[in-house]
Amino acid sequence: MSLKPYTCAVEPQWIDYNGHMSEAFYVLAFGFATTAVMDALGLDEDYRQSASASLYTVEAHVRYLDEVSPGATLEITTVIAGHGAKKLHLAHEMHVDGSLVATEEILGLHVDTESGSTSVFPTAINATITSHEHRIPDWSGRSIST
């Protein structure tokens, strides 16, 4: 099963002094996509409140591949690159008009928000995660080099 793409419009305040989307707003849009994935996996607001648990991003890597212009519509597709008892590795791809403009991969940990410590995903959430497509994109796992 595939995750549904997240779509949003570039807001005027997201545009920087160079006339393109500022780097911070790429991360914001990817964050909205992560929240949409959480909702699809059952880690939604009701779950976060009732279980006192959430997904915390502990590592992220963004690649800025092309400029995004004012008024553009962003489509972010996501695959699960991996998961474990307490962790979820997501790979996001941001497109504008079918062209790849940025990628982000995150490592999220399932955290008990009362104790602040990691906790295993409940059985039902783990089953939902497992039922979705798992694929490691060829760009995943890259490091910064000079």
Q: Provide the pLDDT confidence category of residue 37 given band limits of 50, 70 and 90.
A: very high
pLDDT of residue 6: 98
Element spanning 28, H or E: helix 23-41
pLDDT of residue 61: 96
Q: Provide the pLDDT confidence category of residue 144 given band limits of 50, 70 and 90.
A: confident
Digit-coded pLDDT (tens) for 90-110: 999 999 999 999 999 999 999
pLDDT of residue 1: 81
Return the structure tokens found at 50. 């009732």
Asked if residue 110 lies in contact with residue 86, where contact means CB atoms within 8 angstroms, the answer is yes
Return the structure tokens found at 117. 């410590």
Name beta bridge partners: 73: 9
Digit-coded pLDDT (tens) for 41-91: 999 999 999 999 999 999 999 999 999 999 999 999 999 999 999 999 999
Asked if residue 88 lies in contact with residue 129, where contact means CB atoms within 8 angstroms, the answer is yes
Instruction: Please tell me the class of the 6-131 domain.
Output: alpha beta
Burial of 85 (0-12, 13-18, 19+ CB in 10 A): exposed
pTM of the model: 0.95
Cα–Cα separations (whole angstroms), residue 116 to 38, 54, 104, 113: 19, 10, 25, 5
Which of 41, 45, 50, 57 minimizes the C-alpha distance to 114? 50
